[in-house]
Structures are given as structure tokens and as C-alpha cells.
Structure 1
Amino acid sequence: MTITISDIARVAGVSQATISRVLNDSGYVKTETKEKVLKVIKELNYTPNAIARSLSRNKTNTIGVIVPDINNPFFGEVIKGISDVVDEHNMNMILFDTDEKLNKEIKALKLLKEQRIQGLIIVPTSSEDEINSEYLRIIENLGTPIVLVDGHVSYTNFDGVFVDNIKGAFEGTEAFIKAGHKKIAIITGRMNSKPAQDRLAGYEKALNMYDLPLKSKYIFNGDYLMEKAYEITKEILSMDDPATAIFVSSNMMTLGCLKAIFEEKLSIPEDVAIVGFDRVDVLNTLGLNISYINGPTREMGKIGMEMLIDGLENKEKKHLNRITLIPELVLKGSEKYVKKQNK
């Protein structure tokens, strides 16, 4: 048997409006009446409907999180960081995976608005050339604080936490140069995304600083996915004048790059050197010492959620809150230059 508010009102001898005020802790109710209602609720073993309560309050204790690829460990770490803070504040989280598709991001935003979320953390899929009026209208009229993580939404001003991608890519490329490499390839991410643009800029900055020529034949546009990086690496390895080192702009692409190298029965760094952006934990498990740029992913999630809570508690704040975290270069030997194996 399902117990309803009307059942409680009948047993307690009060109106349904009074029951609603007690359940939502809103409006005045006499102490003795409130105690009587709570006693009846306990006796009838009544459990309030969370959705109904949120509708009556016109808000929930829930935040929305949107990421482009739930299968990517990078975003898994970001979500863990968000979840740590969500749990501390006894909040709830609704998660959406957009598969890097703008239409799915728009759909997620619409659904989250219907759920009356308190706030939103988003790793945007959208890029400047994809932004449309529908997207801007939805995200700007969401009616809640919004925090960006590792991505930008053009024509908007939201709080955000980011990684210094230029510095990370510069240091990764510089490690190759200091090791003796002169022919360095890069596999970029999707070039309509700000992180990919910044990582390419860091690569170019390092070459310029060390007076190495910037050659377009060593720049390959990837898409953050493993399969594309696999294909590009095969192309790099088959060049007449192949690069001796490959800077890979994301963790999933690092896996694709390694797959291609090992299929060719080549060794790292004897045949080709590699540095990847973002940690790939499985490589340590397999005993593969691959150098990488370590972005503080879990920390990004924590800081993003703390920003969101600050926005919820200080809705009148006027200034933007934006933090850029510094990545760490972790050298494990795969960046080295073994001259006897290179022409």
C-alpha cells in the first residue's frame, strides 16, 4: 500500500498544506502540530517523493555534469574529483556523456533544465565554429551557476578551471629537443577545440625558441581518439624522412600511437621517441615507461565543484572566477634520442 500526503493529513487531522509545510520545512507550523505530523509520518513509514518535493521547492539538491567521453580516463578522474566534493556537501549528481557531439550536449542541457538542477559543471564539446543560437540560448538561460572544466564556450562568460596546455606542450617538446631530437612530429587534438590549439601553440613555441624549423609535414591533426592516432602514427612511421619523436596531444591518442609502433615491431625510444599529454595508468601496469604531461585532472574536478558551490552561495558575485593549473612533466625515458638507430 502506498502512503500519500492525504493519508497523513487524515490521520493527523490537519490539512495537506500543513503536511507539505512540515515536509518542506517551509512556512509556519505550530510546534505541537509539527511534532504530531512527524509522529504520524514515522508510524506510517512514509517516504517523501524526492521529485515531488523538488517541484514544490522549485529547486533540487542536484548538480549536472556533462563530459564528452565517459570512457576516457581523463574525464573519469575529473568526475571523481567532482564526486568527492558532492559527497562532502551531501548533494546529488546527474551525469551526461555527449560522445563529443553537439546535439547530445544540447539535449543534455535541455534535460538538466527540466530536472531543475542547482548548478552545472561542463566539459564542453562545442567549438566556435559549431556554436549556434539554440545552444547559446539554452546554456545562458539555464538559470543556474555554470563552471567550465578544461574547455571554453565562445560568446559566454562562465567560471572555469583549466590546464596550462601551452606550457605542458612546450615542456614536452622541449624534453625532446634537449634529448637531441630535431625532427619532432605532433598529433594534435580536434583543432576546433581550445586545448588542441594551445597544445599546438606550445609545440610551435618550443621549436621557435630552440631555432628549429617548423615543418608542416610533421604536424598531424588528430581527434582525441585512439583509432585516428593509430592511423596517423602508421603514416608518420612510413614517411621518407620520418620524425624521430612524436608528441601526442591526449591520453587516448597515446594508446593508438603505441599500438601502431608495436605493430611495426619498433622499440621506444630506440626507433622512435614518444611523449604524451595526460597520464595513462594502464601503461604503468604493463611496465611501459612512457613520458607524459601530467594534468591535475582530479584536482580540476574538485576545484570546479568548489567553484560551483561558491557560485550557489554567492549568487550576487560580479567577478569571474577562473583558475589555470600548471601541469607536470614526468620523464620516464621514452623521450630519449638513441643516435645509432636514427638517420
Structure 2
Amino acid sequence: MSVTINDIARAAGVSRTTVSRVLNDSGYVKEETRNNILKAIRELNYTPSAIARSLSTNKTNTIGVIVPEINNPFFGEIIKGIGQVADEYNLNLILFNTDDNRKKELKALKLLKEQRIQGVIITPTYPEDDFDSNYLSTLENLGIPVILIDGHVECFNFSGVFIDHIKGAYDGTNALIEAGHKKIALITGCMNSRPAKDRLIGYKKALIMNNIPVDENYIFYGDYKHESAYEITKQILEMKDKPTAIFVMSNMMILGCMKAFYEENIRVPEDMAIIGFDKIEALNIVGMNISFINGPTIEMGRIGMKLLIDNLENKESNKELKRITLLPKLVLKGSEKLIKR
């Protein structure tokens, strides 16, 4: 049978209110009385209920984190960064995976509000068109700080931390051009998302700056999933005027490309050069040295958590919009090279 505050009060010979003052460290309690209560707590092996405490204080020591793909290493590292800072401040995390599903995201937001969490860190799921009023009103009415991680909600001003996707795509495309490529295919992410739009801009900008015409036949529209990249890569390999390189705009789509390469006996970079956006450690482990654009994912998580803590500790900062953009890094491993064919 669990020990209650009433049990502590009886053992210490004090009122329930006095025990609550000691547990919550609020209000004056004589030192002798405090020691008696603490002794009773130890002897009865009392553990405060987090749920009961949240009901009395109207908040918990918990932060909500919502991501669209928990199996994606990109988000895994972001969560790692969030967790590092949360540990420093003795905060707990509740994690929700939405599978890029808007209904699941709305459900997660409503559940988090019911749990009296202190704040939310979220990478929004992008809708097919615009953010609907139900979603936006849910975010607005949370009544707690909301921090974005690499996801823009254009209709509302939220603080957040982002990657310069235009620069990342520009640098990747430019690296292929410097290696001698002129026919560079692009596999985009979901074009209703800001990162995908920015990456397409960066790709086109690099071509134009190097006096290479933008050929729409080399632009293929994916969805960040490896299945779509697999099918698209098959199409690319069947083209009469095939590109000599493919720039793939997500780490998960790289897996789809590599699967298609394997089935068609395509060697990298001898038969086709390739660069990806965001790393996949598993490829390095099996000896596939794929060049990639590396976003500072762990640092993004750490900064996002610090922005949230700043909001919690300084209510005035809630009124200040803070958007931090981090620069990605080009990591070349040889898969970008042009081999004379």
C-alpha cells in the first residue's frame, strides 16, 4: 500500500499542510518540525507523486518533444541534443512520433496540454496545402512556450533553430560541378515543406552561378522516404540522356538510391556520382563512403532546448522572437567524383 501525505503527517505529528510546505519547499516551517517530517519521509520510504504534484502546482517538470520520424537519424541526434540540456536542468522529456501525420500531431499536442507540461519543442508535419485553422488554434492555445526545430509555421511567430538549407544545397551542387559534372539530377523532399523549397533554390542557384542551364528533366520530386527515392532512381537510370551525378535531398532517400544502385550493379562513383543531405552512419559502417551535407543536428537540439529554458526562466523573452540559423558543412568522401566513362 502506497504511503500518502496523511501518513507522513500522522507519523510526524503535524498537519497535512505543514508536510506540503516541506515537500514543496514553500512557506515557513520550524527547523525541528522540518527535520521530524524529513525523518518520517525516510522511515516510511515516501515517494512524492508527480501527478499529484502537477495537480497542485498546475505544471510538471516535463517538456514535450514532437518529431515526424523517430527512426530517422537526423531526428535521433536532435533528440540527443535536447536530452543533454534537459538533463543539465533536471527536466524530463515526453517524446511523440507523428509519422508525418497531422492527426497524430494534433493528438500529441492535446495530450501534452492535458499533462501540464512546461513547453513544447516540435518539428511540424507539413500539410498538403496550408496549416488548417484547427491546427493553428491548437498551437496558439497551448498557453506554453513553443520552439520550432527546422520547421517553419508561417502563420505564427515562434522562436526556433533552423539550418541554412539554401547554402547546404548550393555547396553540395557546387561540389559536384567542381568535380566536373554538368548533368546533375536532383531528388527533392516534399515540396510543401520549407526545407525542400530552400534546397531546390540552392541547387538551381549553384547551376546558374556556374552558367549551367537548369534542366527540369533532371529534377525529380520525392517525399523524404526511401521508397520514393528507390523508384525515382530506377527512372533516372533508364533515361536516354542520363545525368552523371545525383544530389539526394535527405538521408533516408539515399538508402533508396543505394538499393536501386545495388540491384542495377551501379558503382559509386565509377558509374554514377552521388551526394546526400544529412549523414547516415550505417553507410560508413558498411564501407559506403557517401559525400553529404552535414547539419549540426545535436547542436540544433541543444540550442532549441536552451531557447525553451530561456522562455521558461524569463517570461519577457516569450515576447521576443528568436530564430537561430546554423550553417551546414559539406563532407566529401569521394562519391562526388566524375570518373571518365
TM-score band, normalised by the shorter chain? over 0.9
Write the mapping of 1:70-81 to structure 2, written as runs, cut at 5 A: 70-81=70-81
Residue 310 (structure 1) aligns with: 310
Q: Aligned to 2:287, what secondary structure does the other structure show?
A: coil
Residue 89 (structure 2) aligns with: 89
Alignment of 1:332 onto 2:333? yes
Q: Aligned to 1:316, what secondary structure does the other structure show?
A: helix
Tell me if the contact between 1:228 and 1:253 (Cα under 8 Å) persists in the aligned partners: yes
Residue 295 (structure 1) aligns with: 295
CA distance in 2, matches of 1:234, 1:330: 26
Residue 37 (structure 1) aligns with: 37
Letter in 2 for 1:119: G
With normalisation by structure 1, the TM-score equals: 0.96
CA distance in 2, matches of 1:256, 1:53: 48
Structure 1 residue 127: deviation in Å?
Answer: 4.3
CA distance in 2, matches of 1:280, 1:35: 55
Q: Aligned to 1:168, what secondary structure does the other structure show?
A: helix
Q: Aligned to 1:192, what secondary structure does the other structure show?
A: coil
Q: Aligned to 2:87, what secondary structure does the other structure show?
A: helix
Residue by residue over 1:248-270, the C-alpha shift from the partner in whole angstroms, topping out at 9 and shown as x without a partner, is: 00000011111101210011111
Residue 274 (structure 1) aligns with: 274
Alignment of 1:132 onto 2:132? yes
Structure 1 residue 31: deviation in Å?
Answer: 2.9
Letter in 2 for 1:319: E
Write the mapping of 1:1-343 to structure 2, written as runs, cut at 5 A: 1-127=1-127, 129-317=129-317, 318-339=319-340, 341=341
Tell me if the contact between 1:270 and 1:337 (Cα under 8 Å) persists in the aligned partners: yes
- Identity across matched positions, percent: 67
CA distance in 1, matches of 2:33, 2:275: 68
Structure 1 residue 215: deviation in Å?
Answer: 1.5
Q: Aligned to 1:338, what secondary structure does the other structure show?
A: coil
Letter in 1 for 2:108: A
Structure 1 residue 128: deviation in Å?
Answer: 7.8
Tell me if the contact between 1:128 and 1:153 (Cα under 8 Å) persists in the aligned partners: no
CA distance in 1, matches of 2:305, 2:261: 39
Structure 1 residue 47: deviation in Å?
Answer: 1.1
The RMSD of aligned alpha carbons is 1.3
> Which range moves more in the overlay, 2-11 or 94-103?
2-11
> Which range moves more in the overlay, 27-36 or 2-11?
27-36
Tell me if the contact between 1:275 and 1:290 (Cα under 8 Å) persists in the aligned partners: yes
CA distance in 2, matches of 1:128, 1:170: 26
CA distance in 2, matches of 1:48, 1:87: 20
Number of residue equivalences? 340
With normalisation by structure 2, the TM-score equals: 0.97
CA distance in 2, matches of 1:180, 1:296: 28
CA distance in 2, matches of 1:223, 1:275: 17
Gaps of 5+ in 2: none
CA distance in 2, matches of 1:28, 1:140: 38
CA distance in 1, matches of 2:2, 2:269: 67
Q: Aligned to 1:180, what secondary structure does the other structure show?
A: coil
Tell me if the contact between 1:24 and 1:57 (Cα under 8 Å) persists in the aligned partners: no
Tell me if the contact between 1:234 and 1:260 (Cα under 8 Å) persists in the aligned partners: yes
CA distance in 2, matches of 1:129, 1:109: 20
Residue by residue over 1:263-306, the C-alpha shift from the partner in whole angstroms, topping out at 9 and shown as x without a partner, is: 10011111111000011111111111111111111111111111
Residue by residue over 1:302-327, the C-alpha shift from the partner in whole angstroms, topping out at 9 and shown as x without a partner, is: 11111111111111123211111111
